[in-house]
Amino acid sequence: MDNKLIEIQSMSDDTAVDTSDTPSLDNPAYYINREISHLAFNRRVLKQALDDRHPLLERLKFLLIFSSNLDEFFEIRVAGLMQSIKFERETTGPDGMHPTEVLREISQICHATVDLQYKTLNDVLIPALAEQGIRFLRRKRWTQAQAKWVEEYIEREVLPIVSPIGIDPAHPFPRLVNKSLNFIVELEGKDAFGRDLNYAIVPAPRTLPRVIRLPTELGDPGQNFIFLSSMIHAHAEKMFPGMQVMGCYQFRITRNADLDVDMEGIADLARALRGELHSRRFGTAVRLEVADNCPEELTQFLLREVGLTDQQLYQVNGPVNLKRLMQVPFEVDRPDLQYPPFTPSMPKGLNRKDVIFDAVARKDYLLQHPFESFSPVIQLVRQAAKDPQVVAIKQTLYRSGGLQSSLVEALIDAARNGKEVTAVVELRARFDEEENLELASRLQEAGAVVVYGVVGYKTHSKMMLLVRREGGELKRYVHLGTGNYHSGNARLYTDYSLLTADPVLCEDVHRVFQQLTGMGKAERMTKLLHAPFTLKRQLLRLIDAEVKAQKEGGEGHIILKCNGLTEPKVIQALYKASQAGVKIDLIIRGMCCLRPGIPGVSDTITVRSIVGRFLEHTRAYYFANSEYKVFCASADLMERNLNHRVETCFPVESPEHSERILKELNLYLKDNLRSWQLQTDGTYSNNRAESEEAPMGAQEELLQIYASQGQ
């Protein structure tokens, strides 16, 4: 058994945990490695594919989302670990694991999880889909008519654009695009030039879908699909006339996709990023996926050519690029196999016909997406673009949906209409860099002022400031959120939005924009907490206040809901609060480096993760003894957010809104349908309703409260 696993499983033993009166909170056994925790979240996503309480096509989506998540994990996290070893920059976190040890454990976990993924696909989902008339036809079972159609498709769509690459001294192993579908072909015979070739590489055309639907008349009733890889396998010999194809096997290379931009002395961030975007497709290899029927000789050849070892090899029983199957749920017209549609609710006073400025001037509005509509936020900018009284709009854009975004179009209209539009565009939003570069160009062409934030600090805060002339004076309106200005994500992610005209909060937001667009010392904020200046310090102070209340005979209680908890000082503060007896409920969707339930250290801490229909994205913090009991934030409790990003955290002042958020947090704490409980050893157990309990899912409950189902 792995030594680390033995240590984790013996957490309750005196040898693993310091049970003295004042245990050292630096003990590595008190911390979970962040990468291992990240993989645990991905495994929870995959487990949804086995949960028959989800509709069948949604289960397929969960399996494909797992594929996408794992791709990014290798492109960024594994690539970073491999680079740190290569360049001798190894560092250990609070858990004490060396990067070499982490990579070894990642390999073990990923191999087991990928095996589970393909078994789920082949043994559970594909048979279940076939029962519903959604079939993936294997080559051996093609009818004569189907085989003829496939041959015609290959000759019409594939052969004119495919470029097989022979491997010889004049044609060394090609540099293949990141995550592209390729085939290694074993050949016998001589080509037209008399060359005795053994191997060739066939890159699948990237413009073609990976799953092709057969014409209705050629298959059984329902929808019948054929994998592009099966078509190429069946007709590989057409690409090598006169030669004998001995074998054809699909493979895929995953590469380092993190952009390496030297932020020191950079003259033009946009130009530097444009130069790096192309290299993302051809970074250092970090993973090789190969069909499990590929001969050992060919597999080892591929490993040598891409510079990897058996630890980075994944032999899979099925398509190597599962993410591209995401087209299937959208191509089949089977609403009965998907979640029922819903209509987000619209608070009174924020309907399209209402003047949103008038409504917000009267009172604050708190929205929770996707249960409540995101359209008031878009409508606010649209109205501002046309309102002659609006003189300025300032907004941060991290992920916005690109050039097709309704909100971006409204900002462009505002700039063209003569408003002073300032957009802080974060070019380094991972995998959205190219889109954001185009977005910045469009805004500049329309006359908006575009800035890229502060070098070395990503602008991750979600805030909008609108200035309107009313009665001869300038009045400010603000939107603050926990999510992105992306209307598509607002249908898929849970997030809070606050619309307010509170002059103090508006002044704080104005000061943050001044810091981002100009120069000068950080100004003191009255209500807003912001990273990298005050947010972490104030959160630690709020935790300490709960400790003080508990020691003075009160009842300390903390609820923290966010996407990740990895910041060591925050974790240690929570451990100290637990040692004082403070009740601590953590709702952490993804990475959590804190271990709950350690005797004498974290007895009063519970950690749960919600994985359901919507991606949990809200960051909401509750402190029972604070002046403001509830805060919402753009920041997770991670080193990068609290130390190296521009983030905002705002108090929820309205008692009505504060009580509402607390009630909603308690729904998540009572969830026995979609929640997972973190154990001391780092594993997660599914919270299932007991026999006498009615199942209750927080997301399902919020849909019932706010949104209309089936409309």
Catalytic positions: 460
Q: Is 123 exposed, middle or buried (0-12, 13-18, 19+ CB in 10 A)?
A: exposed
Residue 312 DSSP class = G
In terms of Cα–Cα distance, which of 42, 63, 60, 126 is closest to 338?
60
Asked if 493 and 399 touch (Cβ cutoff 8 Å), the reply is no
Between CA 143 and CA 146 the distance in angstroms is 5
Helix (H) / strand (E) element for 62: namely: helix 56-72
By three-state DSSP, how is residue 551 classified?
helix
Q: Give the integer Cα–Cα distance in Å for 92 and 71.
A: 24
416 is in an annotated binding site: no
Query: Does 589 appear as a known binding residue?
Result: yes
- Asked if 440 and 422 count as a contact pair (C-beta separation under 8 A), the reply is no
Please name the residues in contact with 553: beta carbons below 8 A apart, sequence gap of 6 or more: none
**Which are the contacts of 574, defined by CB distance < 8 A and separation ≥ 6?**
543, 558, 584, 586, 594, 602, 605
Q: Which residue in this structure is represented by tokens 């594919």?
A: 49
Q: How would you classify the pairing of strands 462-470 and 473-481?
A: antiparallel
Q: Which helix (H) or strand (E) holds 164?
A: none
| Tokens 């040890």 -> residue | 101
At residue 7, what is the residue type?
A: E
CA dist 557 → 277, 469, 542, 620 (Å): 46, 44, 11, 14
Q: According to the annotation, is 69 in a ligand binding site?
A: yes
Q: Hey, CA dihedral for 568, 574, 579, 584, is it positive or negative?
A: negative
Nearest alpha-carbon partner for 353 in 325, 382, 329: 382
Token couple for 396: 């941060």
In degrees rounded to 5, what are phi and psi of residue 156?
-85, -40
Q: Are 455 and 269 in contact (CB under 8 A)?
A: yes
DSSP conformation letters of 78-112: IHHHHHHHHTT-----TT---HHHHHHHHHHHHHH
The two structure tokens encoding residue 317: 């029983």
Number of residues written out for the chain: 711
Secondary structure E strands in 329-419: 342-343, 365-369, 390-397
CA gap 47, 116 in Å, rounded? 9
Q: How far is CA 315 from CA 176, 290, 299, in A?
A: 19, 5, 9
> Binding residue per annotation — 617?
yes
Give the separation between CA 477 and CA 379, rounded to whole angstroms: 14
Binding residues for Mg(2+): 399, 430
Binding residues: 69, 399, 430, 493, 589, 617
